[in-house]
Structure 1
């Protein structure tokens, strides 16, 4: 497994990123891994490494690049420490839907331009807030995203005009959404609204709930669940093996 440091030029500045690739000559199907609210940190690098070992060229971008050289969060204190929670939520809410769409075009272009990447379309996956980023990339880059996943994503189908579920009719990707049980950020009414949007758009999709808490797939989250994490890797690999061309 190899890791390459990259700088991706966007209309709003330069975004640091890493490209994680399997051993061997390649090329491999490309995937963008979108972080949870805690941002890029060792756990996310390890997850990108794991996905690369499964046979994918994985781009891990710093979605908070507009904040410059920001101090990494510890997920043990990110929500329990008042000042850290305020800092984290300020960064989360500062990443608007317009910014996500701008960045998505740059990220997808940069990934597809890499010699390590095969095909003309990529996959995406995201965790917590990254679930929204993953689906928004599929909705704003429909011809270049063939598979999109969200794990314990929150606010996927709100009443807001820019809610990502409203992009369902623009998507062309196969979609996989794994919700967490009793997740206040993705309650039953949002689950049903997303189901209706994906179904109404005629997409091939899976929408299911894991018997685990919000944050189940990310190892440094206090709510991490070993069994749910393993299930998530198996589901993600199955999605990409089916939807991404070599």
Structure 2
């Protein structure tokens, strides 16, 4: 079950965290994985782990917010079966404290980046007779999160794009779904705590973990397992859906 043998997959932002876990799991299940990564060295590090485990992977240096770079990477990759739009950035602030430059930066990566990759990938998926797309949304697309104005905007857009693509390409055999994680323990979380709460990292980590009703943060591997299912033949009847992977945050946090 959940084999991706003979499949070619693109994972954006595969150099660390959730993207790295998805790339590794997909390769382990037989896919040839192409990583689009702004930080080429980080992408190469993921590729090295995949090759060491017997898989096949390649990295393409590309900023997803730059149309020309994305199109060049997808042209080089060629025929495609799977796209995972994982690359994204965060921002902390409400509408008053969000500078225009920060708003634009989040929009460029989290919204325009997803659009650019969809624009490049869908003709390739159509040419193969169909395929699967997974977009990384967030619980912030569904509920109010304090001081996440720009980030919530961007993830709401990702959720809406998911529904639009799922509807528009039904006849082309393209399935499109999204995943909405709550807090996931990644290097980003550790870096944020080190910067914002120096000397209090352990205490603040425990506080953030407790904000999920289940009592802990998710893991990148748990997100990767769901992405694997959604991109596999076993999910062939699933499209236009969003999957909260949130430890009960949306429905039980009251």
More strand by share: 1
TM-score, structure 2 normalization: 0.43
More helix by share: 2
In terms of Rg, which structure is larger?
2
TM-score, structure 1 normalization: 0.44
Using CA pairs below 8 Å that are at least 6 residues apart, which structure has the higher relative contact order? 2
